[in-house]
Amino acid sequence: MGVIRVGTSSWADQSLLRSGWYPRSASTPARRLGFYASRFPLVEVDTSYYAVPVPETTQGWVDATPDDFTFDVKAFRLFTGHPTPVAALPRDLRPAAGPSRVRRRDLPEGAYDELWARFRTALEPIAAAGKLGVVLLQFPPWLVRSPAAERRIVELAQRCRPWRVGVEVRHGSWFTDDAEADTLDLLRANDLSLVCVDMPQGHPSSVPPILARTAEPAIVRFHGHSDAWGGGDKEDKFRYEYAEDELRHWAKLLAEFAGQPDDLHVLFNNCCAGQAQRDATRLAQLLAERMADDRAVPARAAPAG
Torsion of CA 207, 208, 209, 210, to 10 degrees: -110
The distance of Cα 149 from the centroid of its chain, to the nearest Å, equals 20
Element (H, E) at 263: strand 263-268
Task: Give tens-digit pLDDT for 125-141.
Answer: 999 999 999 999 999 99
The three-state secondary structure class of 128 is helix
Domains of the chain: 3-296 (3.20.20.410)
Task: Give tens-digit pLDDT for 72-97.
Answer: 999 999 999 999 999 999 999 999 88
List of residues 6+ apart from 166 with CB closer than 8 A: 72, 134, 135, 136, 137, 192, 193, 194, 195, 217, 219
Taking the C-alpha atoms of residue 226 and residue 240, their distance in angstroms, rounded to an integer, is: 6
pTM of the model: 0.92
Under the banding of pLDDT at 50, 70 and 90, the label for residue 298 is: very low
Burial class (CB in 10 A: 0-12, 13-18, 19+), 149: middle
Task: Give tens-digit pLDDT for 233-278.
Answer: 667 677 788 999 999 999 999 999 988 878 999 999 987 878 999 9
Element (H, E) at 59: helix 55-63
Strands (E), 24-156: 42-45, 70-74, 84-85, 101-102, 132-138
- Contact yes or no for 31/91 (Cβ under 8 A): no
